[in-house]
Amino acid sequence: MKKIFLSIALLSTAVWAKAQTETVLQIKPAGDQVISKHIYGHFSEHLGRCIYDGFWVDENATIPNKGRIRLDIVEALKKIKVPNLRWPGGCFADEYHWRDGIGPRNQRPKMVNTNWGGVTEDNSFGTHEFLDLCQMLNCEPYIAGNVGSGTVEEMAKWVEYLNFDGVSPMTAIRKQNGMDKPWKVSYWGVGNESWGCGGNMTPEYYSDLYRRYATYARDYAGAPLKRIASGANADDYRWTETCMKNIGAGRMWGLTLHYYTLPTGKWNAKGSATKFDEQEYFSTMKNCLRMEEIVSKHAAIMDKYDPKKKVALIVDEWGIWTDVEPGTNPGFLYQQNSLRDALIAGTTLNIFNNHSDRVRMANLAQTINVLQALILTEKEKMILTPTYHVFDLFKVHMDAKYLPINFSSPDYVLGDKKIPALNVSASQDPTGAIHISLVNLDPKNKITLNTDLGDLKWKTVTGQILTSAKLTDINTFADNNKIHNEKFTGARKSGNSLKVDLPAQSVVVLELK
C-alpha cells in the first residue's frame, strides 16, 4: 500500500511539474545591432495567379483598381508595411527579357512560361507596371536580372533604363514610354538559382560569370546598386564557400539562400496544406527549424571571408511548400494556409531576427495565391491568411534595435522524438518600447515564462495572439476571419519581471512600455 501511495504521489508531482514548468527567459539591453525592415520582404513571380488574377486584374474588371493594379491588395500590404518586393522571379527571371515588357501593351510580344504551367505570358505586366506597384506600396523594388538566358548587354541596358538620368538610347526609350526621370532601383539580383533552373551552373562557373555581369551593371549618379549574387540551395555550403572566395566581399552587397519547409521532406510527395496529422505537423516543424542550422552554417562560412559582415545573407525564398490544392493546375503552386503555416512564419522570422547581424533581407514565397501566400483571391473576393496576420504582428521589429535573449526551451515531445517547443526574439524601437515575439510549437501544452529584463525599464505590458482550435484551421472565402489576431491577456508584471502564460500552438507578440 505504501508503494502505491508513493507511486501516486510521484505521478502527481510529475503531472504538476509538467503543467507548471517554468522557462526562464533573459532579455539583455540593446547594442548596435538592428533588425532590418528588409527581413520582412516579399516575392512576386510570374507564376500561377500571383501577378495575373492577383495583383493585376483584367482590363475590364469591376474590382476597384488603379491602372489594373488591385487596390484592396495594395491597402492590405501597406498595412503590414511591406519593405521590398522581389520580381519577376524566381525561375521565370532567367527566361524573362525585359524589353518584351515595355512600350504599348498591344505591341508587346507574347512568350511561353516554360517553368510554370506552360501558359502564355502576354507581358502586359512589365517593368513600368511593377515599379508603379512598388510606388503604390511605398516599398523598395528588388529586381532579379536574367543571367541564365540573357546577355551582359541586356542586363546592363536594363540598369541604364531604370537608373540613368542623362542622354542615352535607353533613357530616350524610357521617356518615350512615359517615365521622364529614372526610378533609381538599388536592389539588383544577378541571376536566380544559378545552380538549378537559372542555368545548372557550378559555383566556380557562376562566380566568374557574376563578376562579369556585375561589372557592367553600372552605378549611375544617385543610384548606386546593391548587387546580389545568386547563392546556395539549402545546405549547399560549398556554393557559399566558392562565392565568398571567388567573388569577394567587395564585389557584392548580398548573397542569397533558398530554403523551403517540406512537410514530409520529400519533393515528390510534399504533403497536404490542410489534411495532416500530428506526426506530419511534427515533421514539418522539425524541417522548419532546420533554418536555424542552415543560416548559422552559411553565416560561419561568410564570417571566414568577411569578418566585418559587409555582405548580407539574403534568404529571398523561404516558406512552406506543400502539394497543390486538389483540382488546381500543378504548375500554379496554389496552396491553402493554415495555423501551422502561421507558426512556421513566426518561427522563421524569429530565427532571422536573431541572426540579423548577417541576415539583412528576406522574401517570403510568395505574396498572392502561390505557396505560403499572404493573400488568396477568388474573383472579387480576397482573404488574408494566417501568415499575413503574423507579418502584421511582427512589423514592430522593423528597423528596431535587436535585444539579445537567453533561455532554454522546453521540449515538444512526440513518441521518441523531440524538438524545441519555444522560439523567441526581441527588439526595442526608437520610442523605447520593447517587443517580444513568442511562438509555442507544442500543440498540447502551454509554456509558463518568467522573464528577467535586467536593467530595461518598463511599466505596462499589452499583447496580441494568433491561435486557433486546430492546427489545420484555415481562413476560407466563406469564413474569412476564422484565424485573426486578438488581444492577449496572459502577460503580467511582477516587480521588474514579466510573467507569461503562453498557450499551446500560438504566436504572441508583447509590447512593454
**Contact between 152 and 92 (Cβ < 8 Å):** no
DSSP bridge pairs for 141:
85
Longest dimension (CA), the chain: 97
Query: What is the number of other CB atoms lying within 10 angstroms of the CB of residue 493?
Result: 14
Catalytic position from the list 153, 292, 317, 325: 317
- In single-letter form, the type of residue at position 24 comes to V
Alpha-carbon gap, residue 34 to 160, rounded angstroms: 32
Catalytic residue among 59, 75, 193, 380: 193
Q: Strand 226-233 to strand 34-35: parallel, antiparallel, or no bridges (unpaired)?
A: unpaired
Return the axis-axis angle of helices 203-216 and 237-246, rounded to nearest 10°.
40
Residue type, 248: G
Residue pair 240/202 in contact (Cβ under 8 Å)? The answer is no
- Phi-psi region at 43: left, alpha or beta (left = phi > 0; alpha = psi -120 to 50): beta
Q: Is 280 designated active site?
A: no
CA separation (Å) from 374 to 2, 38, 110, 245, 329?
A: 59, 16, 29, 37, 20
Residue 98's contacts (CB-CB under 8 Å, 6 or more residues apart) are: 126, 127, 146, 154, 158, 161
Rounded CA-CA distance 383/433 in Å is: 31
Asked if 317 is an active-site residue, the reply is yes
User: 337: exposed, middle or buried (C-beta count within 10 Å: 0-12, 13-18, 19+)?
Assistant: buried
Q: Catalytic positions, please? A: 193, 317
